């Protein structure tokens, strides 16, 4: 029974912390109620992703040393503190950047690491399935939050007050879920994994190929995610459909995390990464013609989410293939840092380009080009396996 409670708790934490992917629903009210520029809103979102990626290395070490319950509780506190700080910011960008961008981003990192690592210890024979369930919860978090925020905005609730409600309610759920965490008695808590030397990794071209390719894929996805509702509104999509598109992208993201794991098992990690990046390039470009209709604007973000979700399955799998499963915990966090850089650069560049051009055409084309370049770099730097 205990292992099922742990799995349920992990899913709930992922569902709450994954709400960050619904960020674009906050963009219009932040601009109208507090005169923020689009670039400001995307800088906050970008810092959240960067904080998430960077702090994950520290969170993993704390989880190993003090256990998942303590680590997840730290995550709940940081997450709540961040949104409360933003709710009392009176619209000042600096406070929201520190609150949501740094503190809540760090809280997401603690929640993500513990929710990913703990259930696997209870189901060692079903690592793929359990990992898929946990990560799918994170991918689906935007569906829940966008629905909640949409109703509150329709009722005239101020955006900063919504931050307060989200911080307190979600923080309580994460905290209570953390109390359910435990590890099996058979797990050896004193087991020490030998770290891969950072200097050797820096000299390894395969690591740079993985880093740059994941940066390209997450750059494209995060630029669209961070600006999705404004993109729809800018192209004339109705507000209802532009908001609903956030959920469609989240559904695609959630399904993609499970689907691409299956594809990787069938055709191999290298081919899967190349296929996912090329498809994400195509799906991103399709936003331009797809924005001419309310209906197609729902379907295209779903495809973008499908391609974006691949990043969080395939690169971890490829690290396991190239360095061995035992090195996944020490090597993958450095590849995952590319996600943090993409979080800072992608949405911010997209918002800035819109402020300059008053159009999302150039940001979308840029996303597709960078994604395609990432595929070319990966193909050139990761050689195909020779068959006998």
Which residues constitute the domain of residue 283?
196-388
Question: How far is the C-alpha of 386 from the C-alpha of 388, rounded, in Å?
Answer: 7
Q: How confident is the model at residue 197 (pLDDT cuts 50, 70, 90)?
A: low
Confidence of residue 328 (pLDDT cuts 50, 70, 90): low
Residue 190 lies in a domain: no
Residue 67 has pLDDT above 90, yes or no: no
- Do residue 142 and residue 204 come from a single domain? no
Which pLDDT score, from 0 to 100, does residue 329 have? 57
Tokens of 45: 């979102």
- Could you tell me if 134 and 271 lie in one domain? no
Q: Are residues 154 and 244 in the same domain?
A: no
Q: What is the mean pLDDT of the chain?
A: 85
Is there a single domain that holds both residue 337 and residue 212?
yes
* pLDDT band (50, 70, 90) for residue 387: very low
Residue 350 inside a domain? The answer is yes
Q: What is the separation, in whole angstroms, between the first and last Cα of the chain?
A: 48
Are 292 and 369 contained in the same domain?
yes
Model pLDDT, residue 78: 97
pLDDT of residue 327: 63
- In whole angstroms, give the CA distance from residue 35 to residue 23: 17
Residue 9 and residue 119: Cα distance in Å, rounded?
9
- Read off the pLDDT of each residue in 168-194 and give the average, rounded to a whole number: 77
- What does the angle CA 215 – CA 254 – CA 268 come to, to the nearest 5 degrees? 60
Residues composing the chain: 388
Is residue 363 situated within a structural domain? Answer: yes
Give the residue-averaged pLDDT of 256-285.
86
- Last residue of some domain: 183, 217, 250? 183
Residue 275 above 70 pLDDT? yes
- Tokens read off for 64: 């190993």
207 and 111 share one domain: no
**How many domains is the chain partitioned into structurally?**
2
- Name the least confident of 21-30, 36-45, 146-155, 179-188: 179-188
Query: Does residue 191 lie in a domain region?
Result: no
**What per-residue confidence (pLDDT) applies to 346?**
85
With 0-12 CB in 10 A as exposed, 13-18 as middle and 19+ as buried, what is 354? buried
* Co-location of 353 and 215 in the same domain: yes
Integer-rounded Cα radius of gyration of the chain: 20
179 and 201 both lie in a single domain:
no
Contact 280, 311 (CB under 8 A): no
Same domain, 320 and 290: yes
d(CA 225, CA 231): 10
* pLDDT in the model for residue 260: 82
Q: 155 and 254 share a domain?
A: no
**CB atoms near residue 344 (< 10 Å):** 21
- Residue 251: inside a domain: yes
Q: Are 200 and 333 found together in one domain?
A: yes
Task: Judge whether 189 lies within some domain.
Answer: no
Same domain, 332 and 225: yes
Structure confidence at residue 239 (pLDDT): 87
Instruction: Tell me, yes or no, whether 308 lies in a domain.
Output: yes
Per-residue confidence (pLDDT) for residue 126, from 0 to 100 = 65
Of the residues 183, 207, 236, the one at which a domain ends: 183
Q: What CA–CA distance (Å, rounded) separates 25 from 301?
A: 14
CATH number at residue 55: 1.20.1250.20
Q: What is the largest CA-CA distance in the chain?
A: 66
| Residue that terminates a domain, selected from 151, 183, 215 | 183
């Amino acid at each position: 029974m205990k292992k099922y409670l742990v799995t349920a708790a992990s899913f709930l934490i992922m569902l709450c912390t994954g709400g960050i992917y619904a960020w674009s629903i906050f963009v219009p009210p932040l601009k109208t109620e507090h005169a923020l520029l689009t670039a400001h809103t995307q800088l906050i979102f970008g810092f959240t992703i960067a904080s998430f990626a960077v702090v994950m290395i520290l969170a993993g070490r704390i989880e190993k040393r003090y256990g998942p319950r303590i680590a997840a509780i730290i995550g709940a506190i940081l997450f709540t503190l961040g949104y409360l700080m933003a709710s009392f910011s009176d619209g000042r960008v600096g406070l929201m950047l520190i609150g949501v961008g740094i503190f809540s981003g760090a809280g997401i990192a603690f929640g993500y690491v513990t929710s990913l690592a703990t259930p696997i210890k209870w189901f060692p024979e079903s690592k793929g399935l359990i990992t898929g369930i946990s990560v799918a919860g994170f991918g689906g978090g935007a569906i829940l939050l966008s629905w909640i925020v949409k109703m509150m905005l329709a009722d005239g609730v101020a955006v900063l007050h919504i931050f307060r409600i989200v911080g307190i309610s979600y923080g309580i759920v994460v905290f209570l879920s953390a109390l359910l965490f435990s590890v099996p008695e058979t797990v050896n808590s004193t087991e020490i994994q030998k770290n891969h030397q950072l200097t050797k990794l820096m000299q390894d071209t395969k690591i740079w190929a993985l880093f740059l390719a994941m940066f390209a894929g997450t750059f494209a996805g995060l630029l669209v995610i961070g600006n999705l509702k404004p993109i729809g509104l800018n192209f004339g999509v109705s507000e209802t459909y532009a908001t609903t598109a956030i959920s469609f992208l989240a559904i695609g993201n959630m399904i993609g995390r499970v689907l691409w794991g299956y594809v990787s098992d069938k055709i191999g990690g290298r081919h899967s990464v190349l296929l996912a990046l090329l498809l994400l390039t195509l799906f991103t470009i399709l936003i331009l013609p797809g924005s001419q209709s309310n209906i197609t604007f729902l379907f295209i973000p779903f495809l973008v989410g499908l391609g974006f979700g691949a990043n969080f399955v395939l690169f971890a799998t490829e690290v396991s293939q190239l360095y061995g499963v035992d090195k996944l915990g020490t090597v993958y966090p450095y590849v995952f840092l590319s996600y943090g850089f993409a979080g800072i650069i992608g949405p911010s560049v997209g918002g800035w380009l819109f402020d300059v051009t008053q159009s999302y055409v150039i940001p979308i084309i840029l996303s597709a080009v960078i994604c395609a370049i990432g595929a070319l770099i990966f193909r050139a730097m990761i050689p195909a396996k020779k068959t006998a």
